[in-house]
Structure 1
Amino acid sequence: MASNSHKQPPWIPPEAHPDSQLPRLKVYNSLTKSKDDFVPVDPTGKTVTWYACGPTVYEDAHLGHAKNYISTDIIRRIMRDYFGFHVKFVMNTTDIDDKIILKGRQQYLLARFKQEHAAKGDSVSDSVLAEAKAALRHYIGKNLPSLPRDTSLETFSDAVERAYKENADAAMAKQGEVVTVADLLLRAHIETARSAVEALQAPGEPPNFFAKTDDILLPYLDALHAAEMDSNNHRIYLELSQKFEHRFFEDMNALNVLAPDQLTRVTEYVPPIIRFVEKIIANGFGYATPDGSVYFDIDSFEKAGHSYARLEPWNKNDRSLQDDGEGSLSKGRSMKRNDNHFALWKASKPGEPAWPSPWGHGRPGWHIECSAMASEVIGRAIDIHSGGIDLRFPHHDNELAQSEAYWSTPGCQVQWTNYFIHMGQLRIRGLKMSKSLKNYTTIRTVLSQKEWSARSLRICFLLMPWQDGIEVTDELMKAVVGWEGKLNNFFLKSLDLWKHSNPKTTTIQEHSIADQQLLSAWDKARADVDTALCDSFNTSAVMRILSNLITESNSAEAPSDQTVILLAQWVTRIITIFGLDPEGDLSNPDRVGWSGLDIPAPAKPYIYTASQLRDQVRTLAFSNSVDYTTIAKLADEITIEASTLVAESSKPYYQVLQQFRTNIKTLAAQQAPARDLLALCDQLRDVHLWNLGIYLEDRNNPQPSLVRPLDKLLIETRAERELASTAKAKAKLEQEAREAEKEKQLHERGKVDPLLMFRASDEYSEWDESGIPTVDAAGGCGVQE
Structure 2
Amino acid sequence: MATALPEWQPPPAPAESAELPRLLVYNSLTRSKVPFIPIDQDGKKVGWYACGPTVYDDAHLGHARNYVSTDIIRRILSDYFRFQVFFVMNITDVDDKIILAARQQHLLSEWLAQHTEVDQEVREITNQAFLMYVAKHLPLLSNVVVLANYDEQVELAYGHVLKGQSLTNDGSPPGDKEAKIRMHMRTAESAVQALLALDHTYDAFVAKASGVLLPYIDSLYKRTVKGTDHHIFTKLTKRYEQRFFEDMAALNVRSPDKLTRVTEYGPQIVDFVKQVQDHAFAYETHGSVYYDIKQWESTGGVYARLEPWNRNDGELQADGEGALSTKPSGSKKSAADFALWKASKEGEPSWPSPWGDGRPGWHIECSAMASDVLGKQIDVHSGGIDLAFPHHDNELAQSEAFWHESGKDSRQWVNYFLHMGHLSIQGSKMSKSLKNFTTIREAIAKGDWTPRGLRIVFLLGAWRDGLEITGEVVKAGRAWEDKVDNFFIKIRDLQSRMTAMKLDVNAGTNGVNGIKMQNGAGSVADALAEAKRKFHDALCDSFDTPTAMRIISDLITLYNTQKHNPDTLSLELGRWVTEMVVMFGLDAQHKSGDLGWSGLDIPEQAKPFIYPLSQLRDRVREQAKAGGVDIATLGKLEDRDTRYSDNQPYANAYADFQRKLFQLNTQGASPKDYLAACDHLRDSVLWQLDIYLEDRDAESLAALVRPVSQSLRDECANKEAATAAKSRAKEEAQAAEKERLDRGKLSHLDMFRTTEYSAWDEEGMPTHDTEGKELAKSRTKKLRKDWTRQKQLHETWSAANQA
Normalised TM-score (structure 2): 0.88
Residues of 1 paired with 2:533 and 2:733: CA distance?
A: 56
Following superposition of structure 1 onto structure 2, how do residues 684-723 of structure 1 map, counting pairs within 5 Å? Answer: 684-700=681-697, 702-723=700-721
| C-alpha spacing 1:756/1:107, structure 2 compared with 1 (3 Å) | farther
Residues of 1 paired with 2:125 and 2:656: CA distance?
A: 64
User: 2:517 pairs with 512, 519, 537, which one?
Assistant: 512
Q: Residue type of the partner of 1:58?
A: Y
Structure 1 partner of 2:300 = 305
Structure 1 partner of 2:552 = 546
Residues of 2 paired with 1:699 and 1:114: CA distance?
A: 65
Following superposition of structure 1 onto structure 2, how do residues 79-94 of structure 1 map, counting pairs within 5 Å? Answer: 79-94=77-92
Listed one character per residue, the Cα deviations across residues 373-432 of structure 1 (whole Å, up to 9, x for unaligned) are 100100011111000000010001111111111112345221100110100011011110
Q: Residue type of the partner of 1:363?
A: R
| C-alpha spacing 1:412/1:505, structure 2 compared with 1 (3 Å) | closer
Contact 1:323 1:331 in 2 (8 A): no
| More off after superposition, 510-519 vs 220-229 | 510-519
Residues of 1 paired with 2:328 and 2:768: CA distance?
A: 89
Structure 2 partner of 1:563 = 569
Following superposition of structure 1 onto structure 2, how do residues 286-365 of structure 1 map, counting pairs within 5 Å? Answer: 286-289=282-285, 291-334=286-329, 335-365=331-361
User: 1:606 pairs with 609, 612, 633, which one?
Assistant: 609
Structure 2 partner of 1:3 = none
Cα offset, 1:462, TM superposition: 0.3
Q: Residue type of the partner of 2:288?
A: S
Listed one character per residue, the Cα deviations across residues 648-683 of structure 1 (whole Å, up to 9, x for unaligned) are 6xx222232233222222222112232222222212
Structure 2 partner of 1:6 = none
Contact 2:179 2:428 in 1 (8 A): no
Partner SS for 1:635: coil
Structure 2 partner of 1:425 = 422
Residues of 1 paired with 2:618 and 2:749: CA distance?
A: 60
Q: Residue type of the partner of 1:189?
A: H
Q: Residue type of the partner of 2:585?
A: G
Contact 1:498 1:565 in 2 (8 A): yes
1:627 aligns with 2:630: yes
Residues of 1 paired with 2:393 and 2:615: CA distance?
A: 65
Listed one character per residue, the Cα deviations across residues 227-263 of structure 1 (whole Å, up to 9, x for unaligned) are 2211011111111111101100000000000000000
Following superposition of structure 1 onto structure 2, how do residues 462-473 of structure 1 map, counting pairs within 5 Å? Answer: 462-473=459-470
Q: Residue type of the partner of 1:126?
A: Q
| C-alpha spacing 1:504/1:558, structure 2 compared with 1 (3 Å) | closer
User: 1:663 pairs with 660, 664, 675, which one?
Assistant: 660
Structure 2 partner of 1:193 = 188
Contact 1:613 1:635 in 2 (8 A): no
Normalised TM-score (structure 1): 0.90
1:258 aligns with 2:246: no
Contact 1:762 1:777 in 2 (8 A): no
| More off after superposition, 476-485 vs 617-626 | 617-626
Structure 2 partner of 1:378 = 374
Q: Residue type of the partner of 2:120?
A: D
| More off after superposition, 458-467 vs 205-214 | 205-214
Partner SS for 2:601: coil
Cα offset, 1:614, TM superposition: 1.8
| C-alpha spacing 1:505/1:544, structure 2 compared with 1 (3 Å) | closer
Structure 2 partner of 1:397 = 393
Structure 1 partner of 2:754 = none
Partner SS for 2:339: strand
| C-alpha spacing 1:507/1:426, structure 2 compared with 1 (3 Å) | closer
User: 2:123 pairs with 126, 129, 147, which one?
Assistant: 129
Cα offset, 1:187, TM superposition: 2.5
1:366 aligns with 2:371: no
1:528 aligns with 2:534: yes
Cα offset, 1:755, TM superposition: 5.8
Partner SS for 1:704: strand
Residues of 1 paired with 2:200 and 2:122: CA distance?
A: 13
Residues of 2 paired with 1:427 and 1:758: CA distance?
A: 74
Q: Residue type of the partner of 1:157?
A: D
| C-alpha spacing 1:778/1:673, structure 2 compared with 1 (3 Å) | closer
Contact 1:583 1:595 in 2 (8 A): yes
Percent identity (aligned):
47
Residues of 2 paired with 1:672 and 1:426: CA distance?
A: 60
| C-alpha spacing 1:654/1:504, structure 2 compared with 1 (3 Å) | closer
| C-alpha spacing 1:168/1:484, structure 2 compared with 1 (3 Å) | closer
1:503 aligns with 2:516: no
Listed one character per residue, the Cα deviations across residues 421-449 of structure 1 (whole Å, up to 9, x for unaligned) are 10001101111001222210000001112
Residues of 2 paired with 1:193 and 1:687: CA distance?
A: 50
Structure 2 partner of 1:181 = 176
Residues of 1 paired with 2:142 and 2:101: CA distance?
A: 29
Partner SS for 1:500: helix
Listed one character per residue, the Cα deviations across residues 28-82 of structure 1 (whole Å, up to 9, x for unaligned) are 0111010000011111100011000011000000000000000000000000010
1:269 aligns with 2:260: no
| C-alpha spacing 1:668/1:468, structure 2 compared with 1 (3 Å) | same
Q: Residue type of the partner of 2:417?
A: F
| More off after superposition, 332-341 vs 656-665 | 656-665
Listed one character per residue, the Cα deviations across residues 129-162 of structure 1 (whole Å, up to 9, x for unaligned) are 3322322232223223344444344343343344
State the aligned residue count.
751
Contact 1:48 1:383 in 2 (8 A): yes
Contact 1:95 1:238 in 2 (8 A): yes
Listed one character per residue, the Cα deviations across residues 143-182 of structure 1 (whole Å, up to 9, x for unaligned) are 2334444434434334334444444544999xxxx85433
Residues of 1 paired with 2:326 and 2:547: CA distance?
A: 46
Partner SS for 2:686: helix
Residues of 2 paired with 1:320 and 1:477: CA distance?
A: 34
Residues of 1 paired with 2:105 and 2:491: CA distance?
A: 55
Residues of 1 paired with 2:158 and 2:738: CA distance?
A: 57
Which structure 2 residue ranges, 5 or more long, are not aligned? 1-6, 168-172, 752-759, 786-803
| C-alpha spacing 1:565/1:217, structure 2 compared with 1 (3 Å) | same
Structure 2 partner of 1:12 = 10
User: 1:248 pairs with 244, 247, 261, which one?
Assistant: 244
Listed one character per residue, the Cα deviations across residues 309-343 of structure 1 (whole Å, up to 9, x for unaligned) are 11111111000000000000003545011101111
Partner SS for 2:456: helix
Residues of 2 paired with 1:779 and 1:613: CA distance?
A: 74
Cα offset, 1:634, TM superposition: 4.7
Cα offset, 1:284, TM superposition: 1.4
Cα offset, 1:350, TM superposition: 1.2
Residues of 2 paired with 1:39 and 1:779: CA distance?
A: 94
Cα offset, 1:743, TM superposition: 6.6
Listed one character per residue, the Cα deviations across residues 112-131 of structure 1 (whole Å, up to 9, x for unaligned) are 112222x2xxx433333332
Structure 1 partner of 2:679 = 682
| C-alpha spacing 1:30/1:595, structure 2 compared with 1 (3 Å) | same
| More off after superposition, 101-110 vs 132-141 | 132-141
Cα offset, 1:360, TM superposition: 0.7
Structure 2 partner of 1:595 = 598
